[in-house]
Chains A and B, each alone.
Chain A
C-alpha cells in the first residue's frame, strides 16, 4: 500500500490502548506521517496531561486547532477537546448557554450530564464527527483515553441513543453511532507492547470493540519493541577485553536475548490470537521524547506501512 493511500483510506483514526503503552506517541507519529505524506491532518487530544504538547515541543493545545510544522506536503493541526468544553460548545451552538448560565442552570446541567453516563463522551465524539463532516481535514487522528475508557467513550453513542429517546442529544448519538460503524469513515488503531499482560488485554479489547461498538479494527501497533539481541560472544572473542568487560558483555547479551524471547513469544501470540495487519515500532531509549525521536518513529512507520502494502 502506498503510504499516502493508507492515510486517506478513512476519515477518522482512533488510537487506543491501555495506559503506558505509548498510545499518545503512536497517535502523534501517525498524524505526523500522514501530514508528511500530503494529508491535511488534525490530531485530537481528549484528555490527559498535555503529553502531545511535550512531544511536539509546543504550547499546550487549545480548543482551537493549532498548526504544527511538519516539513511535508500536507499540514498538521492539533486540538484539545475536553468533555467540559464540548458541553459548553454544544450549548453555545444551541444558543442557550448564556441564558442557562444567567440562572446558574449550567451547574445543574453539568451535574446531570456528569451523572448521566455517556453524555459528555458523546459530545466529544459529536465534535469530532462534526469536524469530519466539515471535510476541512483528510484525516483526523484521535488520541483516545486509556483502554477501559476508550470502550466506554465509544459506547457512549449507543448508550445515549438508547436512553434518550428524542431530541437533539438523540440525533447526535445516532449520527455518531453511524460514523463509528462505517469503516470508510472511522477505524480504530490499537496499540500494545509485546508483553504478556498488555497482549492479553489488547486481544480482549479488540473483540469487545468489534462486538459492542461495531467499529472496524485497523492495523495493530506493537510499540516500544526491544531491539534484536547480539549473538552470545564466544570466549575467543573476549580474550582481548578486560575481565570485567567480558563479564558485563556476557550478562548484557543474556539479558537482551531473554527480552527478545519474550518479545517474539508475544508477537507469535498476536499472529494467532489477533491476526490483524501489524505495524512494529521500536523502543526509543532517549527520554524524554521530543521531535527528534518522533522523526525517527515517523520514518519507521512509513516503511512499515509500505511493507503492509507489499505483504497483503
Chain B
C-alpha cells in the first residue's frame, strides 16, 4: 500500500499544504477518492475561490458537504468554504441570545471582517474542519488549505484568535475596560487613529467588540480544541509540490515552518513529473543527437534530450525535497498530457497516488 493510500485509510484529518498552482485541490480530491474507495466516509473541504474542485467533479459545491456520486464503497462528500456563512453560523451558535447574534451580524466592521479579512479564510477553514470533525459524520476530513503567504496561517488561526481575544487591542477598545483605565493618552491615541482611518472605523470596531462581549470564553475554548486536533497524531500534513527546483525550495521553506511548530509531514506529493522515455542519460542521448545533423530524426532526438534533461533536473529536485523534509515519503504523480478537469481525471490521479 502506498503512503498516501495508508494515510487516506487511517487518518482522521489530512491537510494538503503547498504554494499556489501546484495542483493542491486536485490532490485533495484524489485523496478523498482513495479514502472512499477504502470504504470510508470522507469530506473534502476546498477553500479555493476559483472553484477548481467544483469544476473537477462537476457538482455545484456549497458551504455544506454534498455527496459526490461514484463507484466507491465509501461515501465521498465535498464542499467549498464560504468564510462568511461559516462565520455567521459560528456567531449564531456561540452568541448568548439571538439579540446578541443580531447585533454582531449587523455590525459593519463584522460584515467587512467576515467577508474579506485576511486570515478569516484560514480561521474559517479551521472552524469548518473542527465542526465537521465534531459532527461524527465523517471518518476523514481532507482540507485543501488556502494559498497563503505564510505557511502557518492556517495552522495558527486558532492561536491567533486566542491572542486577539486576550490582546491589547481587545483590552484597549473594550468599553468596560476603557472606563477603568480612563487616561488622556488613550483618548489622544483614539483621536489620532480616527483622524487617519476615519471615525467610523473606530466606532465600528468598538461596537463590534462591545457586541462580542461574553462570547470570548466560548471562542477561546473552541480555538483550543481546534488547535489540539491539528496537533494530534490523527492529523497529517501532506505537502503538495511540483518538481521544479524553485517550487521545491518554497516547499522546503514551508516544511521548515511546519517542523518548527513540532508537526511532522506525512507525505510529499510531487505533482506533474515528466515521464522518462529512456534509460540512457541526457548526456548519452545528446551524444547520439550530435551524430544526426538536421532533419526529422535530429528534431526527435532533440526533443528526447530536452525531456531527459528535465527528468534529470526533476530527480535532483526530488532528492533535495526528500533530504529536506525529514525524509518524508515521496509520492510522484506524472504529468498527464490532458488537464485534470473532471472526476475521471481526479480518479486517474488517485490511482497514480495509490501506486507510488
Contact = CB atoms under 8 A, between A and B. Distances in A.
Given A167-B196, A255-B277, A103 B147 contact: no
13 contacts: A18-B21, A96-B196, A103-B188, A107-B168, A109-B196, A112-B205, A115-B109, A116-B197, A145-B149, A197-B340, A230-B296, A245-B278, A262-B338
Contacts of B115: 117
A72 interface: no
A248 interface: yes
A305 to B, nearest CB: 26
Contacts of B303: 227, 229-230, 252-253, 256
B173 interface: yes
Given A19-B21, A152-B116, A197-B339, A112 B55 contact: no
Contact of B50 (A54, A166, A201): A201
Nearest to B183: A103
Contacts of B173: 108
A249 B20 contact: no
B258 interface: no
Nearest to A119: B197
Interface string A229-250: 1110110011001001100110
Interface of A: 18-21, 47-49, 51, 54, 90-91, 94, 96, 99-100, 103-105, 107-109, 111-119, 145-148, 152, 163-170, 195-197, 200-201, 204, 227, 229-231, 233-234, 237-238, 241, 244-245, 248-249, 251-253, 255-256, 258-259, 261-262, 285, 287-289
Contacts of A249: 297, 300-301, 304
Interface in B33-91: 49-50, 52, 55
The interface residues of chain B, by DSSP majority, are classed as helix
Contact of A262 (B20, B310, B337): B337
A113 B205 CA distance: 11
B309 A116 contact: no
Interface of B: 19-22, 49-50, 52, 55, 108-109, 112-113, 115-119, 147, 149, 164, 167-169, 172-173, 185-186, 188-189, 192-193, 195-198, 200-202, 205, 242, 244-247, 249-250, 253, 275, 277-280, 285, 288, 295-297, 299-304, 306-307, 309-310, 313, 337-341
A251 B334 CA distance: 15
A197 B250 contact: no
Contact of B198 (A49, A147, A169): A169
A285 B311 CA distance: 10
A115 B250 CA distance: 28
Contacts of A99: 192
B168 A104 contact: yes
Contacts of A195: 339
Contacts of A146: 20-21, 147
A127 B309 CA distance: 44
A87 B122 CA distance: 23
A195 to B, nearest CB: 5
Contact of B196 (A94, A227, A233): A94
Given A169-B196, A255-B337, A117 B117 contact: yes
Contacts of B277: 248, 251-252, 255
B227 to A, nearest CB: 21
Contact of B200 (A18, A114, A163, A229): A163
Given A51-B246, A245-B288, 19 more contacts: A19-B21, A21-B21, A103-B188, A104-B168, A105-B192, A108-B193, A111-B164, A116-B109, A116-B197, A164-B200, A229-B303, A230-B302, A233-B296, A252-B300, A255-B277, A255-B337, A258-B337, A285-B309, A285-B310
Contacts of B341: 196-197
For the complex of A and B, 5 pairs with smallest distance between CB atoms:
A20-B21, A19-B20, A230-B299, A196-B339, A258-B337
